[in-house]
Amino acid sequence: MTTGLQHLHSFIPYLFLPILLLSTVTFLVKFLGKNSFTKGDKILGLSTLILSHLQLVFGLILYFAGSKGFTFTKIEGFMKDPELRLYAIEHPSIMILAIGLITFGYSKAKRLTRDSKKFTTLGLSFLIALILILSRIPWDAWLA
Ligand code: HEM
Protein backbone atom coordinates (compact mmCIF):
# COMPACT_ATOMS: atom_id res chain seq x y z
CA MET A 1 0.00 0.00 0.00
CA THR A 2 2.76 2.44 0.89
CA THR A 3 4.33 2.10 -2.58
CA GLY A 4 1.14 3.38 -4.23
CA LEU A 5 0.96 6.23 -1.72
CA GLN A 6 4.64 7.06 -2.31
CA HIS A 7 3.90 7.38 -6.04
CA LEU A 8 0.87 9.59 -5.35
CA HIS A 9 2.73 11.76 -2.81
CA SER A 10 5.54 12.11 -5.32
CA PHE A 11 3.22 12.81 -8.31
CA ILE A 12 0.74 15.31 -6.79
CA PRO A 13 3.40 18.06 -6.36
CA TYR A 14 3.74 18.16 -10.19
CA LEU A 15 0.15 19.48 -10.21
CA PHE A 16 0.07 21.15 -6.82
CA LEU A 17 3.20 23.33 -7.11
CA PRO A 18 2.26 24.94 -10.49
CA ILE A 19 -1.31 25.51 -9.24
CA LEU A 20 -0.06 27.03 -5.98
CA LEU A 21 2.30 29.29 -7.96
CA LEU A 22 -0.45 30.23 -10.43
CA SER A 23 -2.96 31.06 -7.69
CA THR A 24 -0.40 33.08 -5.69
CA VAL A 25 0.57 35.17 -8.73
CA THR A 26 -3.06 35.54 -9.87
CA PHE A 27 -4.29 36.73 -6.46
CA LEU A 28 -1.42 39.19 -5.97
CA VAL A 29 -1.68 40.60 -9.52
CA LYS A 30 -5.48 40.89 -9.25
CA PHE A 31 -5.13 42.74 -5.96
CA LEU A 32 -2.83 45.29 -7.61
CA GLY A 33 -5.21 45.67 -10.57
CA LYS A 34 -8.26 46.19 -8.31
CA ASN A 35 -10.18 43.32 -10.01
CA SER A 36 -13.33 41.67 -8.74
CA PHE A 37 -13.27 38.18 -7.24
CA THR A 38 -14.71 35.77 -9.81
CA LYS A 39 -15.93 32.17 -9.78
CA GLY A 40 -12.66 31.24 -11.53
CA ASP A 41 -10.69 32.71 -8.60
CA LYS A 42 -12.77 30.65 -6.19
CA ILE A 43 -12.09 27.47 -8.19
CA LEU A 44 -8.36 28.24 -8.31
CA GLY A 45 -8.21 28.73 -4.53
CA LEU A 46 -10.30 25.62 -3.88
CA SER A 47 -8.18 23.43 -6.19
CA THR A 48 -5.05 24.57 -4.34
CA LEU A 49 -6.70 23.79 -1.00
CA ILE A 50 -7.89 20.32 -2.08
CA LEU A 51 -4.49 19.30 -3.52
CA SER A 52 -2.72 20.50 -0.37
CA HIS A 53 -5.07 18.43 1.81
CA LEU A 54 -4.51 15.34 -0.35
CA GLN A 55 -0.76 15.78 0.15
CA LEU A 56 -1.35 16.14 3.89
CA VAL A 57 -3.38 12.92 4.17
CA PHE A 58 -1.00 10.83 2.03
CA GLY A 59 2.02 12.39 3.78
CA LEU A 60 0.68 11.59 7.26
CA ILE A 61 0.03 7.95 6.32
CA LEU A 62 3.50 7.63 4.76
CA TYR A 63 5.08 9.26 7.80
CA PHE A 64 3.69 6.66 10.20
CA ALA A 65 3.41 3.60 7.92
CA GLY A 66 6.35 4.09 5.54
CA SER A 67 10.07 3.42 5.90
CA LYS A 68 11.04 7.10 6.09
CA GLY A 69 9.59 9.55 8.59
CA PHE A 70 8.68 8.47 12.12
CA THR A 71 10.99 5.41 11.96
CA PHE A 72 13.94 7.79 11.59
CA THR A 73 13.21 9.34 15.02
CA LYS A 74 14.21 6.01 16.59
CA ILE A 75 17.72 6.17 15.13
CA GLU A 76 20.22 7.49 17.65
CA GLY A 77 21.57 10.94 16.70
CA PHE A 78 19.05 11.42 13.86
CA MET A 79 18.91 15.16 14.54
CA LYS A 80 22.60 15.46 13.58
CA ASP A 81 22.00 13.87 10.17
CA PRO A 82 20.49 16.41 7.70
CA GLU A 83 18.64 13.77 5.64
CA LEU A 84 17.14 11.93 8.62
CA ARG A 85 16.22 15.25 10.26
CA LEU A 86 14.54 16.45 7.03
CA TYR A 87 12.23 13.40 6.77
CA ALA A 88 11.66 12.95 10.50
CA ILE A 89 11.04 16.56 11.56
CA GLU A 90 11.54 19.38 9.05
CA HIS A 91 9.56 18.16 6.02
CA PRO A 92 6.42 17.12 7.93
CA SER A 93 6.32 20.08 10.34
CA ILE A 94 6.99 22.79 7.75
CA MET A 95 4.54 21.21 5.26
CA ILE A 96 1.82 21.02 7.96
CA LEU A 97 2.48 24.69 8.78
CA ALA A 98 2.25 25.62 5.07
CA ILE A 99 -0.98 23.65 4.56
CA GLY A 100 -2.37 25.30 7.69
CA LEU A 101 -1.61 28.70 6.13
CA ILE A 102 -3.33 27.75 2.87
CA THR A 103 -6.38 26.55 4.84
CA PHE A 104 -6.40 29.69 6.99
CA GLY A 105 -6.10 31.99 3.95
CA TYR A 106 -8.85 30.18 2.05
CA SER A 107 -11.33 30.11 4.94
CA LYS A 108 -10.60 33.70 6.01
CA ALA A 109 -11.02 34.98 2.42
CA LYS A 110 -14.36 33.17 2.16
CA ARG A 111 -15.74 35.22 5.04
CA LEU A 112 -14.45 38.57 3.75
CA THR A 113 -16.74 40.82 1.74
CA ARG A 114 -14.27 43.20 0.05
CA ASP A 115 -12.66 41.62 -3.03
CA SER A 116 -9.35 43.44 -2.54
CA LYS A 117 -9.13 41.97 0.99
CA LYS A 118 -9.88 38.48 -0.38
CA PHE A 119 -7.00 38.84 -2.87
CA THR A 120 -4.46 40.07 -0.27
CA THR A 121 -5.43 37.40 2.26
CA LEU A 122 -5.20 34.61 -0.32
CA GLY A 123 -2.16 36.01 -2.13
CA LEU A 124 -0.06 36.57 1.00
CA SER A 125 -0.94 33.34 2.80
CA PHE A 126 -0.34 31.30 -0.38
CA LEU A 127 2.96 33.11 -1.03
CA ILE A 128 4.32 32.34 2.45
CA ALA A 129 3.10 28.73 2.12
CA LEU A 130 4.84 28.40 -1.27
CA ILE A 131 8.16 29.66 0.14
CA LEU A 132 7.91 27.28 3.12
CA ILE A 133 7.07 24.32 0.86
CA LEU A 134 9.92 25.01 -1.58
CA SER A 135 12.35 25.26 1.34
CA ARG A 136 11.63 21.73 2.63
CA ILE A 137 10.99 19.50 -0.39
CA PRO A 138 13.47 16.60 -0.53
CA TRP A 139 14.62 17.81 -3.98
CA ASP A 140 17.39 15.20 -4.46
CA ALA A 141 15.04 12.26 -3.81
CA TRP A 142 12.17 13.77 -5.79
CA LEU A 143 14.01 14.70 -8.96
CA ALA A 144 16.38 11.70 -8.91
C1 HEM B 1 2.56 20.59 0.62
C2 HEM B 1 2.74 19.42 1.13
C3 HEM B 1 3.78 18.42 0.74
C4 HEM B 1 4.55 18.33 -0.39
C5 HEM B 1 4.57 19.28 -1.59
C6 HEM B 1 5.36 17.15 -0.23
C7 HEM B 1 6.26 16.73 -1.16
C8 HEM B 1 7.05 15.60 -1.02
C9 HEM B 1 7.99 15.13 -2.00
C10 HEM B 1 8.25 15.79 -3.36
C11 HEM B 1 8.57 14.01 -1.51
C12 HEM B 1 9.65 13.15 -2.19
C13 HEM B 1 8.96 12.05 -2.95
C14 HEM B 1 9.97 11.19 -3.70
O15 HEM B 1 10.94 10.71 -3.08
O16 HEM B 1 9.76 11.01 -4.90
C17 HEM B 1 8.00 13.75 -0.19
C18 HEM B 1 8.31 12.68 0.62
C19 HEM B 1 7.76 12.44 1.84
N20 HEM B 1 6.82 13.23 2.48
FE21 HEM B 1 5.95 14.88 1.74
N22 HEM B 1 5.07 16.56 0.97
C23 HEM B 1 4.11 17.30 1.59
C24 HEM B 1 3.56 17.08 2.83
C25 HEM B 1 3.92 16.06 3.69
C26 HEM B 1 3.39 15.87 5.01
C27 HEM B 1 2.36 16.79 5.67
C28 HEM B 1 3.99 14.75 5.52
C29 HEM B 1 3.84 14.09 6.85
C30 HEM B 1 3.19 14.55 7.89
C31 HEM B 1 4.89 14.25 4.51
C32 HEM B 1 5.66 13.13 4.64
C33 HEM B 1 6.52 12.65 3.69
C34 HEM B 1 7.28 11.41 3.84
C35 HEM B 1 7.24 10.45 5.03
C36 HEM B 1 8.04 11.28 2.67
C37 HEM B 1 8.99 10.12 2.32
C38 HEM B 1 8.17 9.13 1.53
C39 HEM B 1 8.97 7.86 1.23
O40 HEM B 1 9.78 7.91 0.26
O41 HEM B 1 8.77 6.87 1.94
N42 HEM B 1 4.82 15.08 3.41
N43 HEM B 1 7.09 14.73 0.07
pLDDT tens-digit readout, 44-96? 999 999 999 999 999 999 999 999 999 999 999 999 999 999 999 999 999 99
133 pocket-lining for ligand 1 (C-beta < 6 Å): yes
pTM: 0.96
134 lines ligand 1 (CB under 6 A): no
**Distance between CA 90 and CA 68 in Å, rounded?**
13
3-state helix, strand, coil in the chain (%, to 5): 85, 0, 15
Domain count, the chain: 1
Max CA distance (Å), the chain: 55
Q: Which domain holds residue 136?
A: 2-143
| Of 14, 12, 15, 37, residue with least CA distance to 26 | 37
- Cα–Cα distances (Å) from 86 to 18, 51, 102, in that order, read 23, 22, 22
Q: Given a cut of 80, is residue 1 above it in pLDDT?
A: no
Atom of ligand 1 nearest to the CA of 69: 35
Distance 30 CA to ligand 1 centre (A): 31
For 96-126, the pLDDT digits (tens) are 999 999 999 999 999 999 999 999 999 999 9
